[in-house]
Structure 1
């Protein structure tokens, strides 16, 4: 008797999954807005029910010790954004059901360069309390009017009966909300049925993800599979698959689209892809943090050093939008003191296992390439980078706990101009950029700050906040700056999240408080936010993260005191 191999069995399962979705397309087409909202609300409920198991499975594969404050990251980037995302998307569907637009309840304002911005955060009273001092605007491209924004918001949900076939989502292995959010966006924003192929790193979440997506699996709209690169290749080239969406690196994208080795490189140069179907993607890159010179207190220096350390070390450094290079002014009088605090913040952050494949090799590569590289615990700091010299720090995403420091000359205005040019022209990728500046510096810059934001070719720009806040804001768009092509993909093509279903957003601009409360209030900043729970140095991140996810599952006033108490102890 002959038996099939595991690989054969996996390919057969993949074929059955695609066939199921092809059959399920007529069922999904027949689901009107009310039915789609009801299914989404059931997913929301399932996420709340599975949240603890979700976090436990994520902590297991990342090898986080039980009781570690770092488990807060898994609450805040796992079930929490899926809960807020499903809630916001359901609200958009309700607006469409009522004959309106998802943006009707949101304000708009003029943005530089003939643009219109949609204020997506804060939106509710809960936002103003839980994220006091933070804001987010989605900028639309120049020339798009407010009425056009309103009439086009909703995307494929304006024509739910016009389905668009089957897509393969190649799931991320780092942030566990990404695969589920990508599935929901493909299904609801683009009307494509979805087969999700998990990254092997996250196979331990298979049971959780199937439980969370069960309402959509049951009607034949979603399938969730495991398997290696061979199964991913089989799926993306399947003749019944119409589209591919992936999260990963530009190198992985090119391997999928053009193939590997010399033949793949030749296809890319010739512009003749191996994959003959549309591909959208979110691919990361080398994200900079621009620190503008000013006169800061020692507490400000220490807090912002921890902020930068968080931007690099959150999730062990395995974030597509982790800051990889800090750009500071060589003429800043407090430069040396800031670097003392930055080294201390990197040393103070908890160490953790290098769970993502290849991390140790990438760390070793940075240490061997740069004479100014030094180990600080399990991470690396590279000082003395030169934007005019060849090197990997500005052109290769390390996806590891490696942070570089690049100095440029100039006082705030001239330095900012040079930093913007350097970030645009020298850095690989366009996903996110951070700017940190004292409120007095921002006031002095005036319109020059908006001009700098406008010039930065990045999908998310954060001022005194981490671009990760944009990722966590369900109503914000998330993705590369628009305009990339498959043969120069940079940080990807298309956007995700975008729960207002805005058509063709250009970028998200996030702003946050320069100082945490209570210092912010004493300095006259209108913010009640203490040290954010996503800081790697937050002592109560695990408790605060769990409480936030519980609140997102069932928003209620009675839950707020416990959240505030935990956050203040952080």
Structure 2
């Protein structure tokens, strides 16, 4: 998820009851303008002046603010979704419907999970403590979802058989809510929002304000200017009290001013590792080398981050029916194509067992589905260059064309899907382009993994013994991964499967589903795998994590399970069509039950 430190406009919010966002037009920010700079200075000073008040705010006020934010979500939902679709040059009603539903689900789920924890803390003086167990490694594992009958029966994911377990870092205390146990005196966090998914900015701000106790200055990615007014209106309860402001100026100087301001106490970025390193060590390679050698970072405040991954899918060999192969080929296709594959969790390396008799059939099924999946517009900056770089690295990759999703889109002609097949796992994986570079383009690599010759047992057991360390060590990043394992295979080899889930070093390990399921789960851990060794010098997929609604202080990863075949799995639109009317109804139902559904069904937006 890249963040470009350029091309935005500025907005700020007054701390008093009379406050309102101040927007500077894009035309006025083509050169560094004194009014914009002054407005930004004022916003930062107001936030800094109010950070102590937010840190000291009673739980009752925090809960009230969060409820006000929640109440605003539905009002902005449809115009927000239309603006989000326009960013991707998507013109269809189904694109707006998808944005509407995903925003309602992610926003409502996160807010409700935080509310549940804070209200428990207010009522009982402690955060809720779900059941725990001990993994083979000796570390504590927390069963964070579902935890009660409501989550099991009334929650869409719980009713669909989804479960989530949170792994805590070994050797660390099982403490929760560090901010609420010992509040700091106030912190101002600069949040650099993602450029690929609009709802991530809201998610990050919610985490920083309600879990970390910070006031926030949100620097929108340049692409996100169309959605900024809607997110700002949702967050107005924070802005009105002086605890939130935003900047959408496209000027690089604005980003630098925020990052290196003496008023900034911390930074959070959802973006790329290169952007992280430019912020921390400087943008010039020579400066970076000098500062690294001297351990003298340019950024002097702590930075947390989510920086993407070359996302693996481990396909455990077993006996699959033709219907099961088709189901998972369709799910993988949608995960590849979604958002033109510009997602930090888009599948990039599909790991197949060498010797699995159905491997070729599965790859062929994916190719067939890609040929039917409309090509999304290549909207993201630099996408065509990254696509060409991958194509040059793998001239033998198969280009699969399909119909364009949006004919005549302003983003230009769409690109065929590129499918790269490696006949075996490379002897020198560190030299493999597809393993080291997150392409952010509609490309995917299938690679066959030889079974571990030293391991005993079935092909599935020997595949897992080889594939898990390969995924951990040979692919860049540690954000998320998917493991596809047939229930009969797991029933035959439960210890091997559990060992694999324990040993995979990814922040979100999702069984039988695209790892977007792990992101949507607010009780889980969303960020790189954390074992205490992550540093700004070797940041990988990032430092820290968001979501974590139970507010455990030392989370390592989450393991999320779904049934092998489920209606909750993402599928291409041709098999699961969604129009705006039903999407609004479902969004209202998620947010407000039957009354919310009725409200959205009757709305004219």
TM over 0.5: yes
**Structure 2, unaligned runs of 5 or more:** 1-27, 402-415, 452-458
Partner of residue 47 from structure 1, selected from 35, 57, 73? 73
Pairing 1:206-225 to 2, within 5 Å after superposition: 206-225=228-247
Q: Does 1:554 align with 2:592?
A: yes
Q: Which moved more, 1:386-395 or 1:300-309?
A: 386-395
1:385-432 CA deviation, whole Å, 9 max, x = no partner?
643342321001111111111111231111111111111111000001
Q: Which moved more, 1:488-497 or 1:376-385?
A: 376-385
Q: Does 1:98 align with 2:137?
A: no
Whole-Å separation in 1 of the counterparts to 2:324 and 2:488: 13
SS in 1 for 2:111: helix
What's the TM-score, normalizing by structure 1?
0.90
1:108-138 CA deviation, whole Å, 9 max, x = no partner?
3333312222222224545435221211111
Q: Does 1:313 align with 2:337?
A: yes
1:258-278 CA deviation, whole Å, 9 max, x = no partner?
112322431235432111111
2:24 maps to: none
How far 1:486 moved relative to its partner?
Answer: 0.5
1:155 maps to: 178
Cα pair distance change 1:444/1:466, threshold 3 Å:
same
What's the TM-score, normalizing by structure 2?
0.85
1:489-511 CA deviation, whole Å, 9 max, x = no partner?
00000010111111111110011
Q: Which moved more, 1:206-215 or 1:538-547?
A: 538-547
Whole-Å separation in 2 of the counterparts to 1:383 and 1:142: 38
Cα pair distance change 1:542/1:468, threshold 3 Å:
farther
How far 1:153 moved relative to its partner?
Answer: 2.0
Whole-Å separation in 1 of the counterparts to 2:374 and 2:148: 34
1:402 maps to: 443
How far 1:375 moved relative to its partner?
Answer: 1.4
Q: Which moved more, 1:9-18 or 1:393-402?
A: 9-18
SS in 1 for 2:32: helix
How far 1:217 moved relative to its partner?
Answer: 0.1
Whole-Å separation in 2 of the counterparts to 1:77 and 1:178: 11
1:508 maps to: 558
Q: Is the 8 A contact 1:163 1:192 kept in 2?
A: no
SS in 2 for 1:343: helix
Cα pair distance change 1:381/1:35, threshold 3 Å:
same
How far 1:10 moved relative to its partner?
Answer: 3.0
Whole-Å separation in 2 of the counterparts to 1:407 and 1:164: 51
Q: Is the 8 A contact 1:77 1:176 kept in 2?
A: no
Pairing 1:107-506 to 2, within 5 Å after superposition: 107-125=131-149, 127-129=151-153, 130-131=156-157, 132-143=160-171, 149=174, 152-160=175-183, 162-228=184-250, 229-266=252-289, 267-377=291-401, 378-384=416-422, 386-389=425-428, 390-410=431-451, 411-482=459-530, 483-506=533-556
SS in 1 for 2:124: coil
Cα pair distance change 1:112/1:60, threshold 3 Å:
same
Whole-Å separation in 1 of the counterparts to 2:234 and 2:562: 32
Q: Which moved more, 1:340-349 or 1:384-393?
A: 384-393
Q: Which moved more, 1:270-279 or 1:51-60?
A: 270-279
1:456-492 CA deviation, whole Å, 9 max, x = no partner?
1111111112211110011112110113111110000
Whole-Å separation in 2 of the counterparts to 1:542 and 1:558: 18
1:539 maps to: 576
How far 1:220 moved relative to its partner?
Answer: 0.4
How far 1:143 moved relative to its partner?
Answer: 4.8
Whole-Å separation in 2 of the counterparts to 1:88 and 1:422: 35
Whole-Å separation in 1 of the counterparts to 2:49 and 2:62: 18
SS in 2 for 1:492: coil
Cα pair distance change 1:537/1:326, threshold 3 Å:
farther
Whole-Å separation in 2 of the counterparts to 1:28 and 1:303: 48
How far 1:248 moved relative to its partner?
Answer: 0.5
Pairing 1:10-25 to 2, within 5 Å after superposition: 10-25=36-51
1:525 maps to: none
Q: Is the 8 A contact 2:273 2:307 kept in 1?
A: yes
1:25-59 CA deviation, whole Å, 9 max, x = no partner?
23323420011100000000111211112111101
SS in 2 for 1:210: helix
Cα pair distance change 1:310/1:32, threshold 3 Å:
same
Cα pair distance change 1:179/1:103, threshold 3 Å:
same
Give aligned pairs, total. Answer: 539
